[in-house]
Amino acid sequence: MKALRRNSYIVSKALRTFVAAAVLTAAAAQLAHTVDSMIVGHVVGHHAVSAINLVLPLVEVLNCMAFLICFGANAVCAQAIGRHDMDKAARTFTSTVITVMTLGVAVAVGISLFSREIVEMMSDEPELNDMAYDYIHTYAMGAWLQMLSYGLSLFVATDGRPRMVTLAVVAGALVNVAVDFVTIKVMGMGVDGAALGSLSMFAVNIVILLVYLRRPESSYRLKWPGRSIVSIFMENVREGAPVTVSNSFMAVTIMLINDIVLRYLGCDGLFIWSVCLQMLLLSYVFIDGVIESMFAIGGVLVGERDLRGLEILVKQALIIIAVLVTLVIFVMYVPGVVGQFFGVAPGCALSVELDRVLRIFALMLIPFAVTQILLSTYQILGHDKASVVTAVAQTAMLVVGVWSVARVHGVELWWGFVLACVLVLLFQVGFTTLHSRLIKAHISPLTMIPRDTGGPTFDRSVCYDTEDVNATLADIDAFLRDSGVAAAAAFKINLCCEELMTNIANYAQGRVTQRTFDVHIQINAEGIFVTLKDAGRPFDPVSVGKAADATDSGHLGLKLVTGVVPDITYKYMYGQNTVFICQKL
């Protein structure tokens, strides 16, 4: 046997495919916001950058609302797609769109009416408040656009089309830059122009994503949820609550740190913190890209009952995020480069201090990113308490750490960020280890992934050659017999696996020795569930088999498979062919 154990090739390839698109998507979106700050910094002045930063917590509140509804709905839909429950996916999608539109419009009206009072609660600096008010008053008009754009992006990406989301966001970012240039540089609208640029980006995103959602290959259809709209909303909230708590506390954290920095270091200190925050958000381009990939792929793996695949996914995600965030750290250590982007003249006192602070701030990024990846793993698995505890600990410790160091030595308060992130990561290690021992459950410490799949499981990566396929088929037959599967059901599964696996080995691209395709079989009280995944060229054996007739000798095997097991489906997702078979017991 060449591949006795499931390897990481298929899951890693899916993750890399998704992360590449998700990072480009997040990078384009973040670049659009960063360009706002850069153009404003050069044209209006660095106080305008600080003013936009003042109201960033309010923008985060809008993100929190979108997270609460859409992130949870995305996780529910991912698992529904993994179980091939398309009815639930349709009802969840429709209910989420209705909720987002209703809540988004209500929030937009509320912020517009009370924007002056909201700004005055955040700052008592008149020089900053007027610009902050102008920005948020204009931005509030399109609050619903931001929320809907975020939700549709998640749905389309989870449906295996992250590149479509990238296309939408890149197009939106280009429009944003163009609108920024016209409104800020040409028309002299200042921070109002920056807000209009962001809103134009969301509008373009929505239009492009709606084009895909109308296509036949989309997994989502509009289906009125009826009375279940309340239960769907509650399920979405339950799934999205940990992310919402994290982002809600982050919004409060930014506001509190703004106050601490202003109190101890004044306006120049707030500008430095604004630049550091932009670097954190740049890191979040990568973090968010990996997290979105994990939720989409991980949700499907959980729906497929594939815990080994989830374990591989988390390990690969941690490696990828460490590499990507290191790139951001490298940029922060290059003298003067970051400051020039925000209009700071190289060599001046502000530039020298900014460089010093950036090098300190960079030390927090790796532990911060690792905590975020582990937090996402807990959410995917439904460990709600661990998710909420980690989210609260991370955001609370940031404020406590900065405040504590500021009281001792105000100018060195930046070390509080590093201290907080290291302590939270150590807390995660201790908390998850203690939790796994106290409940005496078979779960892995730190990741909290269960080691018990809930029934007999066959997990194998198979090489693209006849010898390995035949050996694996023999092992599948033995596995079904040892698991007590009835002869009739075992015959059907063996027949389907033989035809489909032989077809993959003979015709799929990727016959290089180190490349493999995956076979996952799980047996429980509901039935036998088989998932076959290969990274070859797109090919739908189910449609071909159903369309074949008696004279089509080349596809008679596939026709036989679709006749023997009616519950068989195919989907091309994340650059991979996935065939799912369900045989009821």
Find the CATH number of the domain harbouring 484.
3.30.565.10
pLDDT value, residue 297: 86
Both 507 and 426 in a single domain? no
Binned at pLDDT 50, 70 and 90, residue 231 comes out as confident
User: Is 475's pLDDT higher than 90?
Assistant: yes
Question: Does residue 444 fall inside a structural domain?
Answer: no
User: Is 347's pLDDT higher than 60?
Assistant: yes
Domain end (from 411, 438, 465):
438
pLDDT value, residue 477: 93
Both 214 and 148 in a single domain? yes
Binned at pLDDT 50, 70 and 90, residue 479 comes out as very high
Binned at pLDDT 50, 70 and 90, residue 369 comes out as very high
Q: Which of 450, 574, 579 is nearest to 521 (CA)?
A: 579
User: Is 2's pLDDT higher than 60?
Assistant: no
- C-alpha span between 305 and 79 (Å, rounded): 10
Q: Which of 367, 366, 384, 377 is nearest to 445 (CA)?
A: 377
Neighbours of 496 (CB within 10 A): 24
Cα 17–Cα 90–Cα 577 angle in degrees, nearest 5: 30
Both 176 and 229 in a single domain? yes
Both 363 and 246 in a single domain? yes
Domain end (from 410, 438, 466):
438
Binned at pLDDT 50, 70 and 90, residue 482 comes out as very high
Phi, psi (degrees; rounded to nearest 5) at 461: -100, 130
**Mean pLDDT computed over 15-23:** 78
Both 488 and 402 in a single domain? no
User: Residue 139, Cα to own-chain centre: how many angstroms?
Assistant: 24
Beta-bridge mates of residue 527:
524, 584
pLDDT value, residue 33: 67
Using DSSP bridges, classify how beta strands 457-463 and 516-524 pair: parallel, antiparallel or unpaired.
antiparallel
Q: Which of 353, 321, 323 is nearest to 338 (CA)?
A: 353
Question: Does residue 4 fall inside a structural domain?
Answer: no
Binned at pLDDT 50, 70 and 90, residue 432 comes out as confident
Tell me which range, 161-175, 436-450, 541-555, is most confidently predicted by mean pLDDT.
161-175
330 CB contacts (<8 Å, ≥6 apart)? none
Both 498 and 553 in a single domain? yes
User: Is 259's pLDDT higher than 50?
Assistant: yes
Residue found by looking up tokens 């519950």 in the block: 567
Report the percent of the chain where pLDDT is more than 70.
90
Question: Does residue 546 fall inside a structural domain?
Answer: yes
Phi, psi (degrees; rounded to nearest 5) at 382: 85, 20
Question: Does residue 452 fall inside a structural domain?
Answer: no
pLDDT value, residue 245: 66
pLDDT value, residue 518: 92
Q: Which of 490, 501, 472 is nearest to 579 (CA)?
A: 501
Q: From residue 205, how far is each of 26, 32, 81, 221, 301 by CA, in Å?
A: 13, 13, 24, 19, 28
- C-alpha span between 465 and 419 (Å, rounded): 53
Both 349 and 468 in a single domain? no
In the numeric block, which tokens belong to residue 12? 């890693």
Question: Does residue 265 fall inside a structural domain?
Answer: yes
Binned at pLDDT 50, 70 and 90, residue 510 comes out as low
Q: Which of 50, 20, 177, 28 is nearest to 119 (CA)?
A: 50
Both 429 and 527 in a single domain? no
pLDDT value, residue 493: 92
Phi, psi (degrees; rounded to nearest 5) at 457: -130, 135
Residue found by looking up tokens 């989420």 in the block: 96
**Mean pLDDT computed over 388-416:** 87
pLDDT value, residue 214: 84
Cα 546–Cα 579–Cα 457 angle in degrees, nearest 5: 135
- C-alpha span between 536 and 500 (Å, rounded): 13
Domain end (from 378, 410, 438):
438
pLDDT in tens, 47-100: 777 777 677 767 767 777 777 778 778 878 887 887 778 888 888 888 888 888
Beta-bridge mates of residue 521:
458, 530
Do residues 293 and 24 make contact, with C-beta atoms less than 8 angstroms apart? no
- C-alpha span between 466 and 506 (Å, rounded): 8
User: What domain range is 327 assigned to?
Assistant: 9-438
User: Is 240's pLDDT higher than 50?
Assistant: yes
Question: 398-409 as b/e, with b when 16 or more CB fall inside 10 Å?
Answer: bbebbbebbeee
Both 201 and 323 in a single domain? yes
- C-alpha span between 112 and 434 (Å, rounded): 47
Question: Does residue 446 fall inside a structural domain?
Answer: no
Binned at pLDDT 50, 70 and 90, residue 199 comes out as confident
Both 373 and 472 in a single domain? no
More confident residue, 85 or 418: 418
- pTM for the whole thing? 0.71
Question: Which three-class secondary structure state does DSSP give residue 580?
Answer: strand
pLDDT value, residue 301: 86
Question: Does residue 537 fall inside a structural domain?
Answer: yes
Both 126 and 251 in a single domain? yes
Do residues 294 and 377 make contact, with C-beta atoms less than 8 angstroms apart? yes
Q: From residue 341, how far is each of 268, 284, 397, 522 by CA, in Å?
A: 16, 18, 30, 53
User: What is the end-to-end Cα distance of the chain in Å, rounded?
Assistant: 30
In the numeric block, which tokens belong to residue 398? 């940031």
Binned at pLDDT 50, 70 and 90, residue 418 comes out as very high
Q: From residue 483, how far is each of 452, 453, 458, 473, 490 by CA, in Å?
A: 16, 14, 10, 15, 10
Question: Which three-class secondary structure state does DSSP give residue 458?
Answer: strand
Question: Does residue 3 fall inside a structural domain?
Answer: no
pLDDT value, residue 1: 39
User: Is 340's pLDDT higher than 60?
Assistant: yes
pLDDT in tens, 121-132: 766 666 677 777
Average pLDDT of every residue of the chain: 82
Report the percent of the chain where pLDDT is more than 90.
17
Q: Which of 282, 339, 267, 342 is nearest to 40 (CA)?
A: 342
Both 26 and 173 in a single domain? yes
Binned at pLDDT 50, 70 and 90, residue 6 comes out as confident
More confident residue, 39 or 13: 13
DSSP 3: -
User: Is 511's pLDDT higher than 60?
Assistant: no
Q: Which of 533, 504, 571 is nearest to 7 (CA)?
A: 533
Question: 514-532 as b/e, with b when 16 or more CB fall inside 10 Å?
Answer: ebbbbbbbbbeeeebbbbb
pLDDT value, residue 32: 67
pLDDT value, residue 497: 92
Tell me how many domains the chain contains.
Answer: 2
More confident residue, 493 or 437: 493
- C-alpha span between 100 and 68 (Å, rounded): 10
pLDDT value, residue 243: 64
Q: Phi-psi bin for 150: left (phi > 0), alpha (psi -120 to 50), beta?
A: alpha
Q: Which of 381, 221, 220 is nearest to 303 (CA)?
A: 381
